[in-house]
């Protein structure tokens, strides 16, 4: 697996943390990167204008994605203004890796 750090580009947010996503190294394509990133961030893929490898490189094709290395930072640049809320942050229970049983443990 290739582990990447992804976030939504939004300079107006105080906290704009990255999340880590995993991609199968056998499926390193632009389409798969877009699909996994959007699913994890709760974004509609149709609203992504571009994917930026920080600090300043636009990813455009499968070869660009194949060159990525573990823990590189990426941003999804959306086509909409901040006023239009076209994405939602998935609730904790909707996120992959969420363990419902662990959340119910009491000490």
Question: Does 92 reside within a domain?
Answer: no
- Structural domains counted in the chain: 1
Average pLDDT over residues 19-34: 94
Question: Does 45 reside within a domain?
Answer: yes
Name, in order, each residue with C-beta under 8 angstroms of 73's C-beta and a sequence gap of 6 or more. 4, 5, 6, 7, 18, 53, 54
Q: Is the pTM of this model over 0.85?
A: no
Percent of the chain with pLDDT over 70: 74
Taking 80 as the threshold, does the pLDDT of residue 49 lie above it? yes
Relative to beta strand 57-59, strand 73-78 is: unpaired
- Report the CATH number that the domain containing residue 50 is assigned in CATH: 3.10.20.90
Domain that holds residue 52: 2-78
**Residue range 61-97, pLDDT digits in tens:** 999 999 999 999 999 999 875 444 444 555 554 555 5
Residues 78 and 81: their CA atoms lie apart, in Å, by 8
Asked whether 73 and 54 are in contact (CB, 8 A), the reply is: yes
Question: Does 104 reside within a domain?
Answer: no
Question: Does 67 reside within a domain?
Answer: yes
pLDDT of residue 12: 77
């Amino acid at each position: 697996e290739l582990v990447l750090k992804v976030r939504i580009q939004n300079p107006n947010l105080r906290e704009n943390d990255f999340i880590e996503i995993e991609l199968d190294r056998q499926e390193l394509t632009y389409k798969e990167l877009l699909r996994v990133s959007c699913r994890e961030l709760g974004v509609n893929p149709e609203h992504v204008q571009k994917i930026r490898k920080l600090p300043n490189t636009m990813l455009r094709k499968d070869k660009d994605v194949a060159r990525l290395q573990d823990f590189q930072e990426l941003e999804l640049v959306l086509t909409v203004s901040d006023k239009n809320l076209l994405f939602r942050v998935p609730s904790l229970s909707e996120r992959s890796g969420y363990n419902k049983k662990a959340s119910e443990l009491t000490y």
